[in-house]
Every structure is written in structure tokens, then in C-alpha cells.
């Protein structure tokens, strides 16, 4: 497990770098050429951002693919964690955190919109879920326990060998306190 620190957060908190990382996380290893076409940027710009993401440990070169002219990039094995409370005292890092979390929320929304715009079989539509549980009353410790338990369940499924008819599944989970709206 890798923890995001202040330096690596500033290296990640850029919309294009986050889009690059998301594209590789969702679709697998890629080159600067394929990412440039997908994201509408020049290969030089994409290459620069790829190297910066690698410098901060978010990506690594996939040496089993490509050649001297074509570099493939992948996400390293393991998980990356972030504790937003670690950045609340530093105004510069707090700004990077805001950029990161705001773009992350937009990315999550984009993934949901893409799913809704696609034509999935009835079986997949029944299996999928867009759910929200409101009105839970939890303490911070209880919410942390809930998150840990759900992560454990998801991690058990990550370790399964994919079945021949399996599709890639995206699980988005957000849990946060919510204050009532003021009248």
C-alpha cells in the first residue's frame, strides 16, 4: 500500500495527469500515442505527464511491452491511499487536495454517465447498482469501520480469477457526512 504524501499529491493534482491515470487504470497499459489520441493532447505533452506520474510512483514502465520507440505505461500493483486530514494545515497542499478531490468526483460522475449511456443486457442491468443509503447515523469510528469492512469484501473479489464471461466492473464508493440543508 502506498500513501499519498504532500509532494506526490502536488504531482498528481492536475486534471490531465488524473485523466491519464484514470485511462490507464480503467483500460489497462497504454502508450503516449494511444493516450494522446484518446485525450486529445499531443504525444509530447502526454509523455511529459507520464514521466511525472512515474516519478511520483503512480505509473511504471511496462517493459514486457513495446520497444525502444514505444514505451508502455501501467499502474503498479497495490493500492494507493489518501488521508485528507493530513493536508488541512498547509494552504498550498490544501489547494492541491481540493483540485484532486474535485476532479476525482467529476471522473466518478463521468463513469456513471458512460454506464448509463451504454446498452447493457438485462442481466447486467439487474446486477448493477446505483444506490445511496441516507439517514445512517454514524460516528467517525463507525464510518471508518464500515469503509474498512466494505474494502475487505471488495478485495476478496479482486483476488478472484476472472471467469470467461466476466466484464470489467467499476465499483465507486463514496462515504461522507452530510449536514442537513438550512431552510
Domains and CATH numbers, the chain: 2-107 (1.10.10.10)
CA-nearest of 47, 24, 45, 7 to 107 is 24
Distance CA 159, CA 127 (A): 20
Summarised one tens digit per residue, pLDDT across range 65-96 is 877 778 999 999 988 899 999 988 888 899 99
* Model pTM score: 0.82
CA-nearest of 73, 36, 46, 42 to 57 is 73
Rounded mean pLDDT of the chain?
92
pLDDT tier, 104 (very low <50, low <70, confident <90, very high otherwise): very high
Amino acid at each position: 500500500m502506498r500513501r499519498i504524501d504532500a509532494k506526490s499529491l502536488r504531482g498528481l493534482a492536475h486534471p490531465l495527469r488524473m485523466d491519464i491515470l484514470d485511462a490507464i487504470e480503467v483500460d489497462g497499459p497504454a502508450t503516449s500515442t494511444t493516450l494522446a489520441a484518446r485525450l486529445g493532447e499531443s504525444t509530447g505533452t502526454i509523455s511529459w505527464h507520464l514521466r511525472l506520474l512515474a516519478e511520483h510512483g503512480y505509473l511504471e514502465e511496462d517493459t514486457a511491452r513495446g520497444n525502444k520507440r514505444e514505451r508502455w505505461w501501467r499502474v503498479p500493483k497495490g493500492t494507493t491511499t489518501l488521508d485528507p486530514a493530513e493536508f488541512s494545515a498547509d494552504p498550498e497542499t490544501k489547494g492541491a487536495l481540493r483540485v484532486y478531490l474535485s476532479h476525482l468526483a467529476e471522473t466518478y460522475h463521468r463513469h456513471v454517465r458512460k454506464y448509463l449511456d451504454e446498452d447493457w443486457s438485462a442481466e447486467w442491468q439487474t446486477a448493477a447498482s446505483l444506490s445511496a443509503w441516507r439517514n445512517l447515523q454514524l460516528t467517525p469510528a463507525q464510518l471508518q469501520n464500515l469503509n474498512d469492512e466494505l474494502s475487505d469484501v471488495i478485495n476478496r473479489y479482486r483476488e478472484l480469477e476472472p471467469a470467461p464471461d466476466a466484464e470489467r466492473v467499476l465499483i465507486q464508493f463514496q462515504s461522507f457526512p452530510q449536514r442537513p440543508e438550512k431552510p
